[in-house]
Amino acid sequence: MRKIILHIVILVLGITSVMSQSLNSTGKIDNLGTIKVKSGQVVIKQDTIDGRVELLQNVSNNYYTVPNIVYGQLVVKNLGKKVILDDKDVFGTIKHLIIRDSLVLDSSASFASSYIGLNPNDVIAEDAVVNTNKSEYLGNKDLIMRNETKSQEIIADGKFSRLNIDNPLGVNVKSGGFEITSKLTLSRGNFNNSSTENFTMKDSTEIERFVGASLSFEPRFENNVDVTYRGVGSIQTTGEIPSNPSTLRRLQVLNTDSLILTKNVQVNDSLIVGGRIFAYQDTLTLASKNNPEFRDSLLSEIAGRFRRNNFNIGEKVLFHNNYTYFYFNDLASSNGVTDILLDIRPTTYPKYDLSNSKIMRSIDLNMFDANGNEVFGGFNAKFGYGWRNAPNKSYDETYSLASSFADLILQHWENGNYEDLTSNTPLMDNPYNWAYSDVANLNTSGSFAIGLSTSLSIFVQAKVLLEGSYKANSLGLMRTDLWNGMQGNLLTKINPNEFPFSLINNVNFNQIKSVPDSVVDWIVLEFRNLTNPNVKFDKLLLVKYNGQIVDIFGNPNIRITKNDFDPLNQDSAFDIVIIHRNHASIKTLNPILLRPANNSEVYDFTQPDFVLGGTAALKLVDVSNNQRIFAMKAGYYINDPSSETQMLNYANPFTVLKDYLQVWNVISQKGYLLYDYDMDGIITTRDFNISWNNRNKQ
What tens digit of pLDDT does each residue of 332-372 get? 999 999 999 999 999 999 999 887 889 999 999 999 999 99
Digit-coded pLDDT (tens) for 503-556: 887 677 776 777 888 999 999 999 999 988 888 899 999 999 999 999 888 889
Looking at per-residue pLDDT, the higher value among 683 and 220 belongs to 220
Whole-number Å distance between alpha carbons of 542 and 523? 6
Mean pLDDT for the stretch of residues 401-407: 82
More confident residue, 2 or 483: 483
Number of alpha carbons in the 13 Å side-chain half-sphere of residue 431: 2
Please provide the size of the chain in residues.
Answer: 698
What pLDDT does 3 receive?
35
Instruction: Say whether 401 sits in a helix, a strand or coil.
Output: helix
Q: Are 388 and 346 in contact (CB under 8 A)?
A: yes
- pTM score over 0.75: no
Q: How many CB atoms lie within 10 A of CB 418?
A: 24
The residue type of 160 is F
Q: At residue 234, what is the residue type?
A: S
Q: DSSP of 213-281, one letter per residue? A: EEESSPPEE-S-EEEEEESSS-EE--TTS-SSTTTEEEEEE-SSSEEE-SS-EEESSEEEESSEEEEEE
CA–CA dist 613, 610 (Å, integer)? 9
Q: In 285-294, which positions are buried (b, 16+ CB within 10 angstroms) versus exposed (e)? A: bbbbebbbeb
The percent of residues above 90 in pLDDT, for the chain, comes to 66
What confidence score (pLDDT) does residue 337 get? 97
Give yes or no for a contact between 201 and 180, defined as CB atoms under 8 angstroms apart: yes
State the pLDDT at residue 692: 76
How many C-alpha atoms does 642 have within 13 Å on its Cβ side? 5
pLDDT tens digits for range 602-621: 999 999 999 999 998 999 99
Q: Tell whether the torsion through CA atoms of 384, 389, 394 and 397 is positive or negative.
A: positive
Going by C-alpha positions, the residue among 457, 270, 448 that lies closest to residue 364 is: 448
Write the DSSP assignment of 590-615 as a string of letters.
S-EE--GGGTT-EEETTSGGGBTTGG
217 beta partners: none
Most confident of 221-225, 350-354, 400-404, 671-675: 221-225
The secondary element (H helix, E strand) that includes residue 379 is strand 377-388
- In one letter, which amino acid is 47? D
Q: Could you give the 3-state DSSP secondary structure of residue 658?
A: helix
- What pLDDT sits at residue 485? 77
Cross-strand bridge partners of residue 175? 155
The partner residues of 152 in beta bridges, in order of sequence, read 171
Phi, psi angle pair for 367, to nearest 5°: -120, 145
Sort strands 179-192 and 171-175 into parallel, antiparallel or unpaired.
parallel
Q: What is the pLDDT of residue 142?
A: 98
In this predicted structure, the answer to whether residue 18 has a pLDDT above a threshold of 80 is no
Per residue in 256-287, pLDDT (tens digit) is 999 999 999 999 999 999 999 999 999 999 99
On the question of pLDDT at 455 being above 70, the answer is no
117-133 per-position pLDDT tens digit: 999 999 999 999 999 99
**With 50 as the cut, is the pLDDT of residue 8 above it?**
no
Tell me the Cα Rg of the chain: 38
536-544 and 519-529 beta bridge pairing: antiparallel
The string of DSSP codes covering 57-73 is ---TT-EEEE--SEEEE
Residue 354 DSSP one-character state: T
pLDDT tens, position by position, 550-596: 988 888 988 887 778 877 778 889 999 999 988 989 999 999 999 88
- Reduced to 3 states, what is the DSSP secondary structure of residue 431? helix
pLDDT over threshold 50, residue 19: no
**Residue-wise pLDDT tens digits, 74-96:** 999 999 999 999 999 989 999 99
Residue 229 has what pLDDT? 98
Q: 294 - beta bridge partners?
A: 273
Is the Cβ–Cβ distance between 568 and 596 less than 8 Å?
no
**Would the pLDDT of 304 be above 80?**
yes
The pLDDT value recorded for residue 671 is 79
Percent of the chain with pLDDT over 70: 92
pLDDT of res. 16: 33
- Taking residue 668's Cβ as centre, other Cβ atoms within 10 Å add up to 7
Q: Binning pLDDT at 50, 70 and 90, where does residue 4 land?
A: very low
Mean pLDDT of 3-13: 38
User: If you average pLDDT over residues 647-671, what whole number do you get?
Assistant: 71
Measured distance CA(39)–CA(21) in Å, rounded: 9
List pLDDT tens digits, range 135-180. 999 999 999 999 999 999 999 999 999 999 999 999 999 999 999 9
